[in-house]
Amino acid sequence: MEDGSLAPTPFPQLPRFDARDLIRDGTTALIELDGQIYTLRITRAGKLILTK
């Protein structure tokens, strides 16, 4: 949405996170799951890439 608000989700019971909040002021964040580190990146085109 252009006003910056998030559209309603079809799954209101699931947690929802804004990727830019996770990444803060950069383009990349590290996410850990069960001792494994994953990289979350926002591309120049505004797409998300999650890699191990």
Residue span of the structural domain in which 30 resides: 19-51
**From edge to edge, which strands make up the β-sheet containing 36-42?**
28-33, 36-42, 48-51
pLDDT at 30: 97
User: What is the pTM assigned to this prediction?
Assistant: 0.71
Q: Is residue 39 part of a domain?
A: yes
Model pLDDT, residue 1:
46
b/e code 4-16 from CB counts within 10 Å (16+ = b): eeeeeeeeeeeee
Q: Report the CATH number at residue 45.
A: 2.10.70.10
Spatial distance between the Cα atoms of 46 and 17, rounded to a whole number of angstroms: 16
Classify residue 12: in a domain, yes or no. Answer: no
pLDDT at 23: 95
Identify the pLDDT of residue 44: 95
Q: pLDDT at position 29, please?
A: 97
7 occurs within a structural domain: no
Q: Structurally, how many domains does the chain consist of?
A: 1
Dihedral sign from CA coordinates of 2, 13, 10, 48? positive
pLDDT tens, residue by residue, 18-51:
999 999 999 999 999 999 999 999 999 999 999 9
pLDDT value at residue 4: 61
Q: How far apart are CA 42 and CA 23, in angstroms?
A: 8
